[in-house]
Structure 1
C-alpha cells in the first residue's frame, strides 16, 4: 500500500480518537461534576456568602504494594489510569466549584506505611502533589493520616508518623473557617495502647479542646477511621452500595473499621461536634450519634451529631460510584456573637463513572484494530497494531 493512504488512515485515526477521548472522558466528567454546582442544592438566605468546602477521602495512590500479584505492566497502566482519574477530577472540580477550602481524610497513599526508605516515600510524595496541586486562595489541609499512611493503633510506626507530619503538617489541631471550627483528630494514633509517645499528642489536644477558641463556633470533626456505632441500630442509609446499609465492625492487620467505643465517646464528649466526617471504609454511611439523653430531640452539636463516612474518591476503591462530600457553611453571627442555627449544609457529589470511559475506549480500540486489519489485510499488520496502540496510549495519557 502506498504512503498517502496510510498517512490518511492515521490522520483520521488521530482525529477520531481525540474526539472519543474528549467526549468519553473530559466532557462526561464536566457534565457529571457540573451537577454538583452549589446553586443546585444549597439553600441560604438571599445575599448570603457561605464558605464552600470539599472533602476527599482515601485517594490511596496505587503503588507496588497495591496489587503485588499482578504483572508489572498491568500495574503500570493501573497506576497511570488511576492517577489520571484522580487528577482530572480534582482539577475539574476546582474549576467548576471554586471551593474556599479542601480537606483530605487520610489514606493518601496505599503503601505509605510500608515504605522504609525515605527516597521511595518522597518520590510518592512528589507524585501525590502532582496529582493534587495547591491552588491560590484555597485553604488545603492534607495533614490527617490514614492507616495506610502510618499504620494503626499499636502498630503505628513513630518514624513514619513523624515523616508524614513533617511533610503534610500537624494534625490534632483546628482551623477557623467560615465561622466554623474544623477539628482534625488523629484517631488512629489515639488508638495506640502501647506507645504513649504516639498517643500523648491527640489525647492532650482533646483534653485541652474545651477551653479553646474552637468551642465558640459550630464544630466539624475530621477522623480517618469512623467512630463506633451499633450497625443494627445505626444503619447507613440508601446511598451505601455494599452490605445492605450495614456497617462492618472488623479488625485485622493494620486496620480497624471503627474506633473503640470508649475512645469514640471520649472524642465526642470533648469535641461536641455538629458533624463528623470520616473515611477509611470507601463507601457512604450517614448515621447520628446521641451526645446526651435528649438525643435527636435536642440541639445539634450539643445533644446529637451526624456522622458521614465519605466515599472514596479513587477508581480503585472497590465501589462503582466514587464521590466527594461538599460542605456549605453559613454562620451569620449577630452583634452579640450568637451563633445561628442550622449552619451546615452538605451534599454528596458523585464523580464520573471510573470505568464507563474505559469500556468505551476498549470497544473502540478493538474496532480500530479490526478496521486496520480490513484495510491493510495482512500487510505488516503487526506493525500497524503496534503503531495504533502507541498512538492511542499517547493520546489517552496526554490529553
Structure 2
C-alpha cells in the first residue's frame, strides 16, 4: 500500500506541474511568428518586421455573467480561476514571444454597460492585474509594450443602448482611449472602428461620429496598406464555412432591436450586409481582424479590388464557451509598400492555441476517482507484480500454442475414465471420477453406510472427457455440526468491520496525498497570482 501511495503521489505531482505550469509553456514551443512572404532580392537581409500580438474577448467574469449574487463565494471563485488562467496565458504564453505591440479586439469586460461606476472601476483594476507586464524577472525589458484597445458590445453596448446611456462610452474612452482611431505599425495603417455603432441611426451622435471618421479615412490621397480592426465580424451568409480551426457550430446572423421605447439595435452577431460592403469599399483593407464570435473563423469577402481575408480570433478565456482559447501573431513589414507588391509580403498571420483548461480540470477529476478506486480496492498485502507477469506470460504462451494447433483442442479417443454412480440419502445420483486411467475389465462395487441412509456406489458409468487431474474423492460425513455454520449477524459484523477498515485506510492515504499535493497546488497558484 505504501508503494501505491507513493506512486499516486508522483502521478499527482506530475499532473499538477503540467496542468498549472508546463501546459502554459507549450504555446511558445508549438507556435511561432509567421514569416513574411517577400522576394529576398528586394528585401534587405537584416529586415525582420514588426511583431504584433492580438487578443480578443477576455470578458472578465462578474455577477452578470452567470446571474449570481454580487460578492458571493461562487462569483469570487469563478473570477479567481478565470483570471489566473488568463494571467498565466498572457505572462507565460504570450509575452514569451516578445511582441512589439499588443492589440485587444474588444470585450474586455462582461457586464460593462450594466456595471455601476464603482463596479466598473473594480473590473478595470482586475483587468490591469490580469494583463500586467511588470515583474517579469529576467525579461523585465518587456515592460512597457504599447497596448491598443477596441471597444466591444460587452464594454459599451450597442447603438440602442447609447441612446439613453451615453456615459458608458465616455468612461471607456477615458481609460482606454477613443473608440475610432488609426495607427501606423511598420508600413501598415491599422484602422479601428466602433462597430457597435455602425448599424445605428444616423441621428445618433455615436453612429454619425463613426461614419464621419470612416469617410475621412477614405479621402486619403496616398493611403498605406490598411488592416481593418472591428469587434463585430463583417457580414457573411448563413452557414458559411469557417475553416479547420473552428471547434463549435457556425453562428448565423441574429439582430435584436430595442423594446419598451428603446430605439436601435440591442444585439447582432455580424454587421449588416450593407454596412459591411460599405466598410470594405471605403477603407479598402488588405486584411480584416475581428472578435465577438468567441471561436475561430476565417472567411473571404469578395470586393472589386479582389478578395479580402477576415480572421475572427477566438476568445482568450476558457469561460466563454470555447474549449480551445487562442490568440494571433502578426508579422508586419517595416518596408514601404513600394518595396513589396503582394499582401502576404506586407502582413502574415499565425493562430496560436492556449492550454485547454477544461480538459485539465476533467483530468484532475478523473484522477481523483481513479485514486479513490485504487485505494479502496487495493489488496492489503499488495500485489506481486512479478507473479502477475509470470501468469500473464504463461497464459500468452498457452494461447499461442492453442492457436498454432488451429485453435481446437484435439480429443483423445483412447482416453476413457471410470466413474462411480453414487446415490445419497435423498436419492440424488452423483458421478464421481475414480481416476485418470484406461478402462479395465475389473468391476467392483462398494456399499457405504451412514447414520442418515445408505449410499451405493456402482462402477457402471463410463464417460469420455479430457484429462484434468489425478483423482477426485467424496467424503460424506454422518452428521453435520450446525454450530460451525456462520450466522447472519456475525457475517454482517465482519463485513462492516472490513468496510470500515478499508474506508479508514483510504481516508488515511488520501490525507497523505493531500498533505503533499495541496501545498504544491497552492504554491503554484500564489506564484502566478502575485
Which deviations, in whole Å up to 9, do the C-alpha atoms of 1:168-189 show, x marking residues without a partner? 0112111100110111000102
Q: Which residue in the other structure is 1:348 paired with?
A: 351
Partners of 1:195 and 1:131 lie apart in 2 by: 38
Give the superposition deviation at 1:49: 1.1
How far does the alpha carbon of each residue in 1:133-165 deviate from its partner, in whole angstroms, 9 at most, with x for none? 2453522112x1111111112223310111001
Offset, 1:315: 0.1
CA distance in 1, matches of 2:121, 2:26: 35
CA deviations over 1:283-333 (Å, ceiling 9, x no partner) = 1221112221xxxxxxxxx33311111111110121221111221122522
User: TM-score, normalised on structure 1?
Assistant: 0.82
Equivalent-residue separation in structure 2 for 1:363 and 1:383 (angstroms): 18
Partner of 1:252: 256
Q: Does 1:154 align with 2:160?
A: yes
Who is 1:284 aligned against?
296
Inter-partner Cα distance in structure 1 for 2:513 and 2:22: 28
1:38 partner SS: coil
Q: Which moved more, 1:382-391 or 1:188-197?
A: 382-391
CA distance in 2 between partners of 1:394 and 1:77 (Å): 14
Cα distance, 1:358–1:195 mapped onto 2, change above 3 Å: farther
- Flag structure 1 segments of 5+ consecutive residues without an equivalent: 293-301
Of 13, 17, 20, which aligns to 1:22?
17
Question: Which residues in structure 2 correspond to 1:1-80 (within 5 Å)?
Answer: 19-38=14-33, 43-44=37-38, 45=40, 47-68=46-67, 72-80=72-80
The yes-or-no answer on 1:197 pairing with 2:205 is yes
Residue 240 in structure 1 maps to residue 276 in structure 2: no
CA deviation map 1:68-111 (0-9, x unaligned): 15894333322211111111111123342111111111111111
Q: CA deviation at 1:219?
A: 0.7
CA distance in 1, matches of 2:235, 2:110: 24
State how far apart, in whole Å, the 1-side matches of 2:199 and 2:93 are.
34
CA distance in 2 between counterparts of 1:171 and 1:281 reads: 20
- Partner in structure 2 of residue 297 of structure 1: none
**Count of residues paired in the alignment:** 372
Paired residue for 2:364?
361
Report whether the alignment pairs 1:225 with 2:353: no
Query: Does the 8 A contact of 1:288 with 1:305 survive in 2?
Result: yes
Instruction: Return the offset for 1:352.
Output: 1.1
Cα distance in 2, alignment partners of residues 161 and 368 from structure 1: 52
Cα distance in 2 between the residues matched to 1:21 and 1:70: 31
Question: Aligned partners of 1:63 and 1:261: how far apart in 2?
Answer: 33
- Partner Cα distance (2:96, 2:508) in 1: 47
Q: Is this contact kept in 2: 1:242–1:283, CA < 8 A?
A: yes
Q: Work out whether residues 62 and 110 of structure 2, in 8 Å CA contact, stay in contact via their aligned partners in 1.
A: yes
1:21 and 1:353 map into 2 onto residues whose CA distance is 14
Shift of residue 360 of structure 1? 2.9
Q: Give yes or no for the alignment of 1:96 onto 2:63.
A: no
Match for residue 118 of structure 2?
119
Q: State the partner residue of 1:298.
A: none
Question: 1:166 maps to what in 2?
Answer: 174
CA contact (8 A) 1:33 1:350 kept: no
Would the alpha carbon gap of residues 211 and 137 (structure 1) be closer, same or farther in structure 2, given more than 3 Å must change? Answer: farther
1:191/1:389 CA distance change after superposition, 3 Å: farther
| Greater RCO (CA < 8 Å, at least 6 residues apart) | 1
Larger Cα-atom Rg: 2
Residue aligned with 1:269, SS: helix
Residue pair 1:37, 1:96 contacting (<8 A) in 2 also: no
Partners of 2:13 and 2:230 in 1: CA distance: 42
Q: Confirm or deny: 8 A CA contact 1:251 1:257 kept in the other structure.
A: yes
Normalising by structure 2, report the TM-score: 0.63
* Superposition deviation, residue 47 in structure 1: 3.7
Question: Counterparts of 1:247 and 1:166 in 2: how far apart (Å)?
Answer: 33
2:285 is matched with which residue: 256, 267, 273?
A: 273
Mapped to 2, the partners of 1:329 and 1:22 lie a distance apart of: 36
Q: 1:395 and 2:403 equivalent?
A: no
Cα pair 1:58 1:314 within 8 Å, conserved: yes
Verify the 8 A CA contact 1:175 1:183 in the aligned structure 2: yes
Indicate the residue corresponding to 1:296 in structure 2. Answer: none
Structure-2 change in CA distance of 1:225 and 1:239 (3 Å): same
Alpha-carbon shift at residue 195 of structure 1 (Å): 5.3
Unaligned runs of 5+ in 2: 134-141, 258-265, 377-500
Q: What is the alpha-carbon distance in structure 2 between the residues aligned to residue 173 and residue 384 of structure 1? A: 58
1: CA distance, partners of 2:336 / 2:514: 65
